[in-house]
Chain A
Amino acid sequence: EVQLVESGGGLVQPGGSLRLSCAASGLTFSSFWMHWVRQAPGKGLEWVSRIDSGGSSTIYADSVKGRFTISRDNAKNTLYLQMNSLRAEDTAVYYCARGLFRDDYTPWGQGTLVTVSS
């Protein structure tokens, strides 16, 4: 089955760190650019970061630049998001998403909830 499964979310205090994972199956993971997108409770979708297929090129939203790091392990078919210096406004469901749009587009996973609170 073609799917993306996010994990690693949880409750963390402000200033803390968390690493999210996205396990890909049923697709040639190493061929695709990958993205993280988040959705704060009751809010819209916000793009967070993108990594190219080889892992050498990354870009970030201004809201997370310098605090978050995207990476990937193509041997493990897994995407990561290292989140440091977390703030209350980072509270959201985090989704991973494939970058290439065509008819075989991989559905987004259910996401993983990150709650930043003391």
Chain B
Amino acid sequence: DIQMTQSPSSLSASAGDRVTITCRASLGISNSLAWYQQKPGEAPKLLLFAASRLKSGVPSRFSGSGSGPDYTLTISSLQPEDSATYYCQQYYSASWTFGQGTKVEIK
């Protein structure tokens, strides 16, 4: 199985800050990577797929980058409504795997 290592596990930042979350796969996954946002009591919501493609309707302050095994989710200017847990997910393998999650809090 492909292992996904996500960091940090949590972070606290102020509104307007630039925030970066990283995800490393145990092998190259050819940009087959998705990022989700999950708020308490809600289902995960897809933000980006193919590592850098923003799903329509998602604010442009969210962006993704990376290649090979290493990927990054960036929130360019953190907003109060971005308080949530974020997960990366590889779909290179038919058996998906997820990162452990990053809880983002607003100071």
Contact = CB atoms under 8 A, between A and B. Distances in A.
B55 A44 contact: no
A37 B96 contact: yes
Contacts of B45: 107-108
17 contacts: A44-B100, A44-B101, A45-B89, A45-B98, A47-B95, A50-B94, A50-B95, A59-B95, A61-B95, A101-B46, A101-B91, A103-B55, A107-B45, A107-B46, A108-B44, A108-B46, A110-B43
Contacts of B49: 101-102, 105
Query: How extensive is the interface on chain B, given as a class?
Result: 20 to 34
Interface string A104-115: 010111110000
Contacts of A46: 98
Contacts of B61: none
B53 A103 contact: yes
Interface residues of A, number: 21
Contacts, number: 52
Interface string A81-107: 000000000000001000101110101
A35 interface: yes
A3 to B, nearest CB: 11
A47 B97 contact: yes
Interface of A: 33, 35, 37, 44-47, 50, 59, 61, 95, 99, 101-103, 105, 107-111
B50 interface: yes
Contacts of A110: 42-43
B71 interface: no
Nearest to B56: A103
